[in-house]
Amino acid sequence: MIYAGKLKEKLDFYRVQEVQSESGYKRTEEVFMFTAKAERTKNKENFVVDAEELFHSVYLTFRLRFRKEVDETNIVVYKENRYRITSLNPWEADGEMTKKKKKINE
């Protein structure tokens, strides 16, 4: 069980939705779903060199109360940075879920 005092970080969840115009052009749009409080548990940074180019990956792990609306296709905004969910482990019996996220490189 997660105690309310540990839920100090604010996460904004967005759903990626495909929109089609009258002319048939399709584009994706991020639609705000909700804001949730979470506990930050781990931070992992990775540096990889590929074709003489340096890639910096940041992985964060959070625990939050179980929400059935959250899935691995959502975009999460944490401290004004956008993250993609890479792993989602729900524990419905305990009422919590663990989420790993990778920063989106833009």
Q: Would the pLDDT of 100 be above 70?
A: yes
The confidence score (pLDDT) of residue 102 equals: 76
The CB density around residue 61, as the number of other CB atoms within 10 Å, is 17
| Dist. CA 49–CA 23, nearest whole Å | 43
Amino acid making up residue 25? Y
Length of the chain in terms of residues written: 106
pLDDT band for position 34 (cuts 50, 70, 90): very high
| Dist. CA 67–CA 65, nearest whole Å | 6
Digit-coded pLDDT (tens) for 2-11: 666 688 899 9
pLDDT band for position 60 (cuts 50, 70, 90): confident
